[in-house]
Chain A
């Protein structure tokens, strides 16, 4: 029984998580970028985004530090495809370069099934006049191909309040008049085959494939009277497939209503997240993940610049969000 407890994946995950928090405390301060409109904080040990606030509306988008995540990538092995690299298990070198810039670097990445990989993933994050930009690079010195990188990764994305709705708006065919609207709160409908996901999941395509025009060069995370503008496009065409991904943890209340539990925690256990399977009564956190997924297919011994992801808060409805894209195009 003791052996089962000590070596269960859940216990190991929990221990790892506890170690992560302990390390974070030991290493001290988080790193914050802040201007008149926005605040974003990074964990100094893991490099995870632990807080993100729209200061003008007090919308706390990333709220609970313990749910912050830095990145995730997949590097299949020759004899086993399942080989993720979780940012939660990496140590970051976090350097605040200036008041509006932080550099993060993760080296010698610990993979789940392939040991330590000679790879360096680095990010340069800037905050200028309300525009928060994540520029990142993968230096892959291994023989493996890195298929995908999820970055930036918001591990606890919140609507402005429990009473507020939150929808994701994307374009179809790059057409500003053809907007697709998917609610992620208070309802979250799974859009992937249930057999192949743990959590209700939605992905929206920013670009289909290399060289294509942008399917949806931006997405809007739209609350009733404010939103977050997320721009993926950096140029007329995309160098690779890029997706906006949303996951609702640990799931919905009811498969009929698809309502998200309107609470921070719900009775239960989430092995993947790391709740303790042996606890008599345990609670598991309820949270929404938002990340952008870059299908880089970076071959061994290569360096890949990822498409920069720019975020900006706005007030108003989706038209205000679309106007930001028009402005960005006008400025080019």
Chain B
């Protein structure tokens, strides 16, 4: 799966499952600062990503995901490993 498709599917998950504002989602968007995702929301986000892409994201890797772009990169790495 390439980054474009990952971004598209991630965007859908963020909007439809987490209720985030579609207009604010871009690769530079910071989950906590720009998208108003609190600490519980970050966990929900990671679970949604695991379900959507069939990957596992342990806590020590999750710590490094702060932006939409970083989330896309992590998924891309796992899917293409």
A binds B: no
Q: Could you tell me which A residues sit within 8 Å of B by CB distance?
A: none
